[in-house]
Amino acid sequence: MKHIIAVLLENEPGALSRVVGLFSARGYNIESLTVAPTEDPSLSRMTIETTGSDDVIEQITKHLNRLIEVIKVVDLTEGSYIERELMMVKVRAVGKEREEMKRMADIFRGRIIDVTDKSYTIELTGDQSKNDAFLEAIERTAILETVRTGSSGIGRGERILRV
């Protein structure tokens, strides 16, 4: 099952490689990983999307907590949460396709952020399944390039992860 784990850790060099090293050393999956400093520059916030049985997820959270630089670990999927991913897709847009692509972008509430006479670059934000759906919806051969940030997650309502 998919889990989204949020990690608050010291913003120190090497902290990221400790997390990544832990996943590879113990054979855990990483579907995606995003990390950036928070409003407090001494802290980094990481979102890890992973899959595994409940036992594996329990070990993952325990081992993350064991890392000296990790301050807090929360499995967001244990409660309600919001997940967002930014995707930029460069698509072929020639002739009839131009109107079609514009319409698809509108349907998915995407924005065209770069235009040439042969292509559009579309920006989409949403959970991963929405971005997946967009890629499914457009003509596959029209996709020239895709870049996705991976999921960032935050708890709903009063669920707050901070020091």
Partner 1 sequence: MEISKKEIAATAGATPDLASQELRGAEILIKALQAENVKYVWGYPGGAVLHIYDAFFKQDSIQHVLVRHEQAAVHAADGYARATGDVGVALVTSGPGVTNAVTGIATAYMDSIPMVIITGQVPTHAIGLDAFQECDTVGITRPIVKHNFLVKDARDMALTLKKAFHIARSGRPGPVVVDIPKDVSFKKVPYAGYPETVTMRSYNPMRKGHGGQIRKALQLLLTAKRPYIYTGGGVLLSNASSELRTLVDMLGYPCTNTLMGLGAYPASDPKFLGMLGMHGTVEANNAMQNCDVLLAVGARFDDRVIGNPKHFAQNERKIIHIDIDPSSISKRVKVDIPIVGDVKEVLTEMIAMIKETSTRPDPAALGGWWETIEGWRKRDCLKYKPGSGEIIKPQYVVETLWNMTKDVETYITSDVGQHQMWAAQYYRFDEPRRWINSGGLGTMGVGIPYAMGIKLAKPDAEVYCITGEGSVQMCIQELSTCLQYNTPIKIVSLNNRYLGMVRQWQEVEYEGRYSHSYMDALPDFVKLAEAYGHVGMLIERSEDVEPALREARKLKDRTVFMDFRTDQTENVFPMVQAGKGITEMLLGSEDL
For position 55 contacting partner 1 by CB under 8 A, the verdict is yes
Q: What's the distance, CA 95 to chain centroid?
A: 33
- Min dist CB 72 to partner 1, Å, is 9
Q: Which own/partner contact pairs does 125-131 have at CB distance under 8 Å and 24+ positions apart?
A: 125/84, 125/85, 125/86, 125/87, 126/84, 126/85, 127/83, 127/84, 127/85, 127/151, 128/49, 128/83, 128/85, 131/85, 131/87
Interface residue with partner 1, options 71, 86, 88, 154 (CB under 8 A):
71
The residue behind tokens 């409940």 is 54
Question: CA 153 to CA 123: how far, in whole Å?
Answer: 19
Q: Which stretch in 69-77, 84-92, 125-133, 151-159 sits in contact with partner 1 by CB under 8 A?
A: 69-77
Closer to partner 1 by Cβ: residue 21 or 79: 21
For position 38 contacting partner 1 by CB under 8 A, the verdict is no
Say if CB 147 and CB 58 are below 8 A apart.
no
For position 21 contacting partner 1 by CB under 8 A, the verdict is yes
Q: Which stretch in 60-68, 104-112, 123-131, 154-162 sits in contact with partner 1 by CB under 8 A?
A: 60-68
What residue type is assigned to position 131 of the chain?
N
Closer to partner 1 by Cβ: residue 14 or 37: 14
User: Which residues here bind partner 1, judged by CB under 8 A?
Assistant: 9-10, 13-14, 17-18, 21, 25, 55, 58-59, 62-63, 65-66, 68-71, 163
